[in-house]
A and B are shown apart, each in its own frame.
Chain A
Amino acid sequence: MATQAPAKTAHPLNVIVATDCGSTTTKAILIEKVGDEYRQTYRGEAPTTVEAPFEDVTRGVLNAIAEIEELSGRKILDGDKIITPCRDAKTGVDIYISTSSAGGGLQMMVTGVVQNMTGESAQRAALGAGAIVIDVLASNDGRLPHEKIERIRTMRPDMILMSGGTDGGAVTHVVEMAEYISAAEPRPRFGATYKLPLIYAGNKDAQPQVKKILGEKAALVLTDNIRPVLERENLAPARNKIHDLFLEHVMQQAPGYKKLIEMAGAPIMPTPAAVGVIMETIAKREHLNLIGVDIGGATTDVFSVFEGLFNRTVSANLGMSYSISNVLAEAGLANIMRWVPFTIEEQTLRNRIKNKMIRPTTIPQTLDELQIEHAIAREALRLALIHHKSLATALKGIQQERTISDVFEQQQSGKTLIDMLKLDLIVGSGGILSHAPRRVQSMLMMVDAYEPLGVTRLSVDSIFMMPHLGVLSTIDEKAATDVFVRDCMVYLGTCVAPIGQGKDGDRCADYVITFADGRIDKGVLAFGDLRLVPLAGDQKASIAIQPVKQVNLGAGAGVSITREVQGGVVGLLLDGRGRPLQLPTDHTARVASLKKWYSAVGLYPTAS
């Protein structure tokens, strides 16, 4: 994470105000120490004011905080200033902290020599630092040199990350790329007069040449090679430099950010970087493999931690408002329609989606509209995970030691790290998941989109406060953990999904659930069944499942498993619909299946 020293405050942190300046809204939360623990007490929201006519991000921040003032009765603002530290029980806060993705977030271009080696490493470094990668240029990307130069010229990134070559290897290709960048004279997105920040994290032997070629033309920073040897990635130094330059250069140019940095008691973090911190923390603390998703209006971020390895991707044009039309374009109408439990004309649906795109702040007012949005969300989530799987991989192009048995497996290098059978927890965040009228809707959206295998727990961010807690955790781990556990994470429950296919109604598995109070629920899960067993958040139960011979629950086909499962606000979801999930192709049959499933779990009011 950022190399800036965490904030040091002379006073204890009892009252904290945190904001996240998003692309549309600035969300503020108040955290107070109640007794021995920290709790999130109030929240406020206001439109982000980074662009015209205000062009000062702090206006939106002050408006959001003013809403907290109104609701809490605490005086936090003194004109345009935040009162720190607390003066008495009802005046001031001890620290103000913030994250930001306003103004399109941090947009980066990265370069490498071999596209799926250093190109991908550079991409992972930038994504992990919270950036949106607008292009990956590589010596072997198939574009002609003049096309590369033209591409660099037309893009206006906030920052460039250059990589390429292992330390001590050939310098030619990476120097060539530096020459292209120099010839293109790239210009930054904000501020016509300042030099574009450029981080060089390639072959260290090429540093002198790169300095000579680009030293005058860009604000060049040299750092350790992100791929010093083929077999190892070293992303942390480049990530730290990205964070430093984000604060020193990019944010200084964005409207009002100088003031925002002065107001804040800790370095401003890019929103996805802060969410990443939280995801990593949960995974490490509980020794879990997890997938986290933050589905926003413009973008969908996916985070994963598998066997301790953290990855993040951003699908820049998959979102539920600004980018909703792009979900339709990428997924195709048929894929969206397959989740809609009624008939709607294609033209009507297309017009509705476009109308949401041009009026992104509107909300579904009828049940039909809500169901359509949930259908689109399933596809946005699904596509973003596919994207994530393609980048969250083991290193490509490295030599593998093989024994004779491996020869028969023919495993390639660069296999995805995402193993749905080893997945312990899915964490959802973002408006459509956090604000779904019924929590079971969030749960089923994620189950349908991700198709978890075996036994998987699911949760959501209650009111979207992970970014705030991410930045808070860098200055006060306890406060962040307290609020995270008590107010942020809402455990939905556990999904049990056997792998295999069968005819609807045929036996899929027999199960025995033993509750903590000794109660026993025995049953048969048939193919095509979706069953919800109530199990509260603070309860655990033991489930023993015996699948039929062609069905697998992780231990092998036909092998029974016994697991302890945790409840949640939704409960225990037994999903007999089969994996991979295949919906009937016939329209009438599909609608009937959807209605049956939705009704079985009480998804929507009419079905309850």
Chain B
Amino acid sequence: MPHSYTPGLTVTEQAMVRRRRMLSLPGNVLVTTGDVVRANQAVARAELPGKVYPLNLANQLGVAPDEIHEYLIKKAGDPVQKDEILAENKPLIKWLKTEVRSPITGVVESLSTVTGQVLLREPPRVLELLAYVDGRIVEVIPQQGVVVETNCSLVQGIFGIGGETWGEIVIAVTSPDEALTPRHLTADMKGKVVVGGSFISSDALARAKEVGVAGLVIGGIHDKDLRTLLGYDLGVAITGTEQVGFTLILTEGFGAIPMAEKTFALLSAHAGQPASISGATQIRAGVIRPEIIIPKGVADGHGAAIAPQREGIRIGDQVRIIRDPLFGKIGEVASLPSDLQKIPTESEVRVLEVRFGDGSRTMIPRTNIELIEGS
């Protein structure tokens, strides 16, 4: 039987986090190792080559591809303005004249005498890469990016949508099992990271958009409300580029599920502080989970220890049950029987015993729990 390696979600008051910030194409790095950076500061810049527009001159002029050179006004490498003439024929009768004008402003990139095609390219677009978290640059990868390190509190969610953003943490509910409703969302929450409890309904999502919150951190959501929010049914959990007006992070899953007390307590303790959040989720081996990073000021040393990767589960560990019928319940590991056990589906699997707050115990397949990691 396989070992159980169920990855846990980290919820910790103290972490040293490194984030690799990479340009999608080579460019210039704007900072040096040791620099202190702010979340919204550009750390690298690249020029994304402009869009390419092919234009078949031979077809438009009604000539053979290998003849187009005779009709060109512009040559490869020439700058060109929108509507400027690229090529024209010289007929004997003037009103039979054909002019081919440029549909864009840019440069003539190339000409082909095989296809009769000219390729025009728009001017490059500047891409700025931001630091994302307040911290210190600990590594520069020339032309590609940097590694930012920050001393912070860290909460990982299970699923999110929307990209990176920043804002002050606001706790909108009084307990982790309270649902976030429209009345909790007030105008002063604009640009902030709003923490709710167990659930957010579709009307509260609409209200959040109206208020203009930067982010929402919630225990759970109904799939149908997510579908309404996105406008489509999400098929594969690869997210981070959605634009719904805010970044949404679920800490528990789909349905109405109270936020883990530890998560709620940690976020509550940092109410009023700025946080960097990202909804980007990618669920494959080596998952990317959404995160809430609450910086605590710049690290004083270099190469501070990164928490070692945990392996395996131990008695006493806090775990969350992640499959029905007890989905969302939190307890601690009471025992780890080594023998395989038959479960109601008749599968024989490795199990562990979970003890809940009220003292009750139950056996759960090891693959159906996740560790709540972090001290």
CB distance from A470 to the nearest CB of B (A): 22
Whole-angstrom distance between the Cβ of A439 and the nearest chain B Cβ: 11
Nearest chain-B residue to A437 (Cβ)?
B346
Docked complex Cα distance between A420 and B370 (Å): 44
Contact, CB under 8 Å: B51 / A146? yes
Asked if A544 is an interface residue, CB under 8 A from chain B, the answer is no
Show 21 A/B contacts (Cβ-Cβ < 8 Å), sorted by A. A49-B285, A50-B285, A52-B286, A54-B286, A55-B286, A67-B2, A146-B51, A146-B54, A149-B54, A150-B52, A171-B114, A175-B115, A179-B117, A183-B52, A183-B121, A322-B237, A350-B223, A365-B324, A366-B344, A370-B345, A437-B346
Are B286's CB and A364's CB within 8 A? no
Given the interface pairs A184-B52, A364-B345, A365-B323, the reply to whether A326 lies near B114 with Cβ below 8 Å is no
Question: Which of A23, A179, A359: most chain B CB closer than 10 A?
Answer: A359
Q: Do A366 and B324 form a contact, CB below 8 Å, given A192-B26, A358-B283? A: yes
A residues in contact with B3, CB < 8 Å: 45-46, 67
B223 nearest CB neighbor, chain A only: A350
* Cα separation A366 to B224 with both chains bound (whole Å): 24
Give the residue of A102, A180, A328, A357 whose beta carbon is less than 8 angstroms from that of B283. A357
**Cα-based distance from A435 to B349 in the complex (angstroms):** 11
Beta-carbon contacts under 8 Å, B325-357 to A: 325, 327, 343-347, 349
Q: Which residue of A lies closest to B238 (CB)?
A: A322
A23 touches B344 (CB 8 A): no
Besides A326-B236, A357-B283, 13 other A-B contacts (C-beta < 8 A): A150-B52, A179-B54, A298-B284, A317-B235, A322-B236, A346-B224, A352-B254, A354-B253, A355-B253, A359-B253, A365-B325, A369-B324, A370-B345
Does A24 sit within 8 A of B, measured CB to CB? Answer: yes
Contact of B284 among A51, A353, A362 (CB under 8 A): A51
Residues on B facing A (Cβ under 8 Å): 1-3, 5-6, 25-26, 49, 51-54, 65, 109-110, 112, 114-115, 117, 119, 121, 144, 158-159, 222-224, 226, 233-237, 253-255, 281, 283-286, 309, 322-325, 327, 343-347, 349, 364-365, 367-368, 370
How close is A474's CB to chain B, nearest CB, in angstroms? Answer: 26
Closest to B370 in A: A359
Contact present for A104 and B367 (CB under 8 Å): no
Tell me the bound Cα distance from A359 to B346 in angstroms: 21
Contact residues in B for A209 (Cβ distance below 8 Å): 114
Inter-subunit contact A175/B283 (CB<8 Å): no
Q: 7 tightest A-B contacts by CB? A: A51-B286, A326-B235, A437-B346, A45-B2, A350-B223, A351-B254, A329-B233
Kindly list chain A residues whose C-beta atoms are within 8 Å of the C-beta of B109.
Answer: 183
In the bound complex, do residue B223 and residue A322 qualify as a contact, i.e. CB atoms below 8 Å apart? Answer: no
A437 in contact with B345 (CB, 8 Å)? yes
Contact of B112 among A145, A175, A350, A605 (CB under 8 A): A175
A149 touches B52 (CB 8 A): yes
Complex interface: chain B residues within 8 A of A357 (CB): 236-237, 283
Which residues of chain A have a CB within 8 Å of any CB of chain B?
Answer: 23-25, 44-55, 67, 102, 104, 145-146, 149-150, 171-172, 175-176, 179-180, 183-185, 187, 192, 209, 298, 317, 322-323, 325-326, 328-330, 346-347, 350-355, 357-367, 369-370, 435, 437-438, 605
Q: Given A146-B52, A437-B345, A437-B347, do A176 and B26 touch, yes or no (CB 8 Å)?
A: no
Nearest Cβ on chain A to B97's Cβ, whole angstroms: 25
Shortest distance between the CB of B326 and any CB in chain A (Å): 9
In the complex, what residue of chain B is closest to A156 when comparing beta carbons?
A: B24
Provide the residues of chain B in CB contact with A347, threshold 8 Å. Answer: 222-224
Contact B345 A366 (CB under 8 A): yes
CB distance from A548 to the nearest CB of B (A): 38
Tell me, in angstroms, the Cα distance from A282 to B5 when the chains sit together: 36
Q: Which listed residue (B54, B234, B285, B368) contacts A23, Cβ 8 A?
A: B285
Cβ contact within 8 Å between B285 and A325: no
Q: Is the CB of A325 within 8 A of B284?
A: no
Whether the Cβ atoms of B114 and A369 lie closer than 8 Å is no
Partner of A361, one of B1, B26, B367: B367
Give every chain A residue within 8 A of B112 (Cβ-Cβ): 175-176, 179
Contact: B115 with A351, CB < 8 Å? no
A323 to B283 Cα, complex, angstroms: 10
A362 touches B286 (CB 8 A): no
Instruction: Please indicate the chain B residues that have their CB under 8 angstroms from the CB of A172 in the complex.
Output: 65, 114-115
Do B367 and A362 touch across chains, with their CB atoms under 8 A apart? yes
A183 and B121 alpha carbons, distance in the complex (Å): 9
